[in-house]
Amino acid sequence: MVDSTKVLQLFKTLHRTRQQVFKNDVRALEASRKKINEEFKSHKNETSPEKIEELIKIGSDVELILRKSVIQGIHTDHNTLKLVPRKELLTESKPSCNVPTQKP
């Protein structure tokens, strides 16, 4: 049988992640809160351990995508969008050497 603590932990993790990803965006925070709650509620009577594990995997994948791929955008005027990446999305890039080396 699937441990219900895994389901609860995923629920809490998704909500924490949405609060970080959509920080200061009231509409996105509310929409994501509703969507997470609806998805969990719609599957609350699921009894198949295989299906529950599949749903946990999907939820974990969604959380990872939100955390690693979503960048907030703010409309500054009708034609401009300012991207606001979270600190954890910014990585330090190191230049690569594409110049061929010569053998002596």
51 CB-side CA count, 13 A: 6
Does the pLDDT value for residue 1 go beyond 60? no
Mean pLDDT, residues 4-11: 94
> What confidence tier does 100 reach under pLDDT thresholds 50, 70, 90?
low
3-state helix, strand, coil in the chain (%, to 5): 55, 10, 35
Q: 3-class SS at 47? A: coil
Closest CA to 25 of 79, 63, 78, 82: 82
Closest CA to 10 of 45, 48, 37: 37
In a domain, 62, yes or no: yes
> What confidence tier does 50 reach under pLDDT thresholds 50, 70, 90?
very high
Q: Domain total for the chain? A: 1
Structural domain that includes position 41: 4-86
In a domain, 45, yes or no: yes
- Is residue 34 a contact partner of residue 84, using CB atoms and an 8 Å limit? no
In a domain, 57, yes or no: yes
In a domain, 95, yes or no: no
How far is it, in rounded angstroms, from Cα 104 to Cα 94? 27
Does the pLDDT value for residue 26 go beyond 60? yes
What is the pTM for the complete model shown? 0.77
56 or 101, which is more confident = 56
Average pLDDT of the residues of the chain: 86
pLDDT of residue 65: 93
> What confidence tier does 103 reach under pLDDT thresholds 50, 70, 90?
low
